[in-house]
Amino acid sequence: MLEIKNLHVEVEGKQILNGIDLDVKSGEMHAIMGLNGSGKSTLSNAITGRENYNVTKGDIVYKNDSIIEMEPDQRALAGIFMSFQYPTVIPGVNNTYFLRAAVNAKRKYNGQKEYDAASFLKFVKSKLKEVDMDSKYLKRAVNEGFSGGEKKRNEMLQLLCLEPELAIMDETDSGLDIDALKIISRGINNYKDKNRSFLVITHYQRLLKYIEPDVVHVLIDGKIIKSGGKELALELEEKGYGWLEQ
């Protein structure tokens, strides 16, 4: 599904990633753990194609094609989704209108008939239940006036509507209360299947109580210095990151 080969990424002239190798197969869930500044978010931004995240060496291959020259929207249409650490507020743009534009872009790409306003509303309401969201959030501007937890649920709602094959959850757990954390985890667990992969980026082990990664990677100074099973996350919880840095 996703193969990252010797990835070097520079942001505004500063080298952040120094040779990352990662192989996420269909149906797998990988967790990337690391301290602030280790390059976790740079990795997710490089995969989704954010401006100014320049790949200086190496490659990102998704479904056997290199994607580093692709526009962010082309990557999204190909099936990559990122749940943002800090979802963007877009004043004036209605949440439903935005979501329908996104879903219809995907349907058009897939050669499916686009939703009209009424059929889309029916579609989205069925998804709202899965993330315990009130339909009033559909009437607001995108993420405007949403609390931290509501924003993350809105991200999850977008994920469920867009049905990506590779979902990157960037610090999804940060700032969430325990109820919201459970809802998001339930969403992830329900969504995961043999054709869908997750890359979960997190600072803490907290989220991993509710979801079970197949592989845990530890990122320090822009390099993966250790990979292992779920037990690695527990070890990090106990010992911190210090023992790995030597």
Partner 1 sequence: MNLNDYQTEFNKLIAQQSFSSDSHPQRNNTFSKFLDSGIPTKKWEAWRHTDLSFLNKNNFRVSRPDDSQVDSIDISNYKIANTYTIIIINGYFIEGSSVLPKELKVSTYTDKNNWNPKNKKENPFELLNASLSDSNIAIVIEPNASIEKPIHILFLCTGKDNLMINPQITMDISRSSSATIIEQYVSDTSSFFQNTSVFASIEKNASLNHIRIHSNSDETANISGLHVTQSDDSNYNYFQLVDGGALQRSDIYTDLEGKNATCSLSGLTLLDKKQHSATYITSDHIMPQCESSQNFKSVLNGHSSGVFNGRTIVREDSQKTNSKQSNKNLLLSDQAIMNSNPQLEIYADDVKCAHGSTTGALDNEALFYMQSRGINRKDSISLLIRGFVSELINDIKSEDLKNHLFTRFDRWLLNNNQ
Per CB under 8 A, residues contacting partner 1 are 48-51, 71-73, 75-77, 81-82, 84, 87-94, 97-98, 101-102, 105-106, 109, 141-142, 158, 162
Q: What is the phi/psi pair of residue 176, to 5°? A: -95, 140
Q: Smallest gap, in angstroms, from Cβ of residue 88 to partner 1?
A: 4
Q: Smallest gap, in angstroms, from Cβ of residue 241 to partner 1?
A: 29
In sequence order, the 6+-apart residues with CB closer than 8 A to the CB of 125 are: 135
Half-sphere exposure of 163 (CA within 13 A, CB side): 11
Q: Smallest gap, in angstroms, from Cβ of residue 220 to partner 1?
A: 27
Residue 179 is encoded by which pair of tokens? 């109820």
**Based on CB atoms, which residue is closest to partner 1, 102 or 244?**
102
Q: Smallest gap, in angstroms, from Cβ of residue 104 to partner 1?
A: 9
**Based on CB atoms, which residue is closest to partner 1, 91 or 242?**
91
**Based on CB atoms, which residue is closest to partner 1, 110 or 246?**
110
Look at strands 2-11 and 90-94 and give their pairing. unpaired
**Based on CB atoms, which residue is closest to partner 1, 89 or 228?**
89
How far, in Å, CA of 81 to CA of 58, rounded?
Answer: 21
Q: Which residues, in sequence order, are bridge partners of residue 30?
A: 199, 215
